[in-house]
Amino acid sequence: MAAANAGSVALPAYQSSSDWFADGETRMAEKVELMRESNRAKNVILFVGDGMGISTLTAARILQGQMAGEDGEENLLSFEAFPYSALVKTYNTNQQTPDSAGTMTAMMSGVKNKAGMINISSKGLRADCASSKGNELNTFLDLMEITGRSTGIISTARVTHATPAATYARVPERNWESDDGLTEEARENGCKDIADQLVSYGYGDGIDVILGGGRRHFLPSEEGGKRQDGRDLTVEWQQRYEGADVQVAYLQNGTELAAQDLTSTDKLMGLFTSSHMSYDADRAASGSDEPTIAEMTESAIQVLEKNDKGFFLMVESGRIDHAHHAGNAYNALHDAVAFSDAVQAAVDAVNLDETLILVTADHSHVFTIAGYPTKGNPILGRVVTNDGSGAPEEGAAQAGDGMPYTTLGYTNGLGFADLGDETDADARYASAADAGRKDISGIDVEAPGYHQEALVPMGSETHAGEDISLHAVGAGAWLVQGTIEQNALFHIMARAAVVSPGK
């Protein structure tokens, strides 16, 4: 190779002309162009893929590419093309491997806390109402409401579940979603359940958009709900705005959302299912009248963007996590692909010169991509190896026990199940755990109902403790760099939106 002058290095033509090389050079040039402080973020959108660890991103990007007829490995999910990214440390103050209540509290309040508690500092005790008094934490959503911005929350889980609840509630027990879960001590000390806190939210003019599942926590038991106090919180939420000059809409299915005139809607609540919303593949297969996460995102932005001061929107894909807990990669990955579509819908709908979009997870899962499958091998399939000649070997690879194995697997959990075309991953919980190695010859491992093998038998697959990723584009995105603590997300959002927390 010829000697190089300062600042330049001669490379062989076959290297510099490679598509890989040219693509990397182009991407770096784009990044350098963006390496400057951007405008203030009038709007902030935080996307949270619950349980969407790095291995989930990798597998989902490959699946999305393969669904489009490609090998998949070169594909990128929408947000993976964002110009800024960081690694995020997820531990709780009392656990190496975290839970969603603690991780989302860190993101929304700027303070790490214990597992299971929502916006209560670590001085409090889990499920102890008295100890939570004086230890409540305020959230970024609170700050945006106080400064006159509009706010919204979206979740494919129940809107009272840990991740969405951490945007607005303060409670020492994440399971207090409705009053039926409150302990006697909590009642005596005046703690309110999460659904009650949502409809009576007291900052600004209240949360403007609420879309997701969990209707049962708002309805009395005699109407099929969970509430023991006889209250219908959906009615109370609508009555709250009676006499005010605002247009209010309460919806219960996707058809109603599609028909709603969002240009004249000021307050929007849509509770589309009794509990969690369907997995995306299950929704599509069953024809359930539920909106997609992308449709909910587009609808929310149409309502919120009417506020000239700006808005904050949190969008959670909650069921990625649930499918992983069931040991079902099929639904976890399809929900991650739907999540990517929702991010793209937001990018297409807003002005990035005044909007910061952040995409992250709360934690990861013990989900692995292993073996030496040939490039382009179906990501949900059995491992088929390559001998280096460019042609895959015949048949699936075999492990040391002489049986084939899949690329995807779990370290722990319920283990193997072959439920065929069943798209509801939770159906796995209806049968006994079956961990350990199985002979999967002749089984359709790419079917919706296939649940991957697991090494350690457990009643539910667990979260994992490694770092997760954060991706950013738009106003203030340059703040996202390096390896950061999870609570730094609060400060990134506050800095970008020029919201200064007071004492």
3-state SS class at 491: helix
Q: CA 219 to CA 199: how far, in whole Å?
A: 12
Task: Please enumerate, by residue number, every residue annotated as part of a binding site for Mg(2+).
Answer: 50, 161, 163, 316
| Residue listed under structure tokens 């048949």 | 395
Alpha carbon of 491 to those of 108, 111, 122, 423, 452: distances in Å?
9, 10, 19, 39, 39
Residues ≥6 apart with Cβ < 8 Å to 263: 302, 306
Supply the DSSP symbol for 371. Answer: S
Q: Which residues are annotated as a binding site?
A: 50, 161, 163, 316, 321, 325, 362-363, 463
3 state SS of 195: helix
CA pair distance 198, 202, nearest whole angstrom: 9
201 CB-near residues (< 8 Å, 6+ apart): 168, 207
Cβ proximity of 342 and 297 under 8 Å: yes
Q: How far apart are CA 58 and CA 117, in angstroms?
A: 31
The residues assigned a catalytic role are 100
Q: How far is CA 172 from the centre of its chain?
A: 22
For 437-448, b where at least 16 C-beta lie within 10 A, e where not — what string? eeebeebebeeb
Alpha-carbon distance of 169 to 77, in angstroms, equals 31
State the distance between the two ends of the chain, measured CA to CA, in whole angstroms. 62
Q: Are 176 and 228 in contact (CB under 8 A)?
A: no
Q: Which residues contact 233 (CB under 8 A, 6 or more apart)?
A: 195, 196, 198, 199, 217, 218, 219, 227
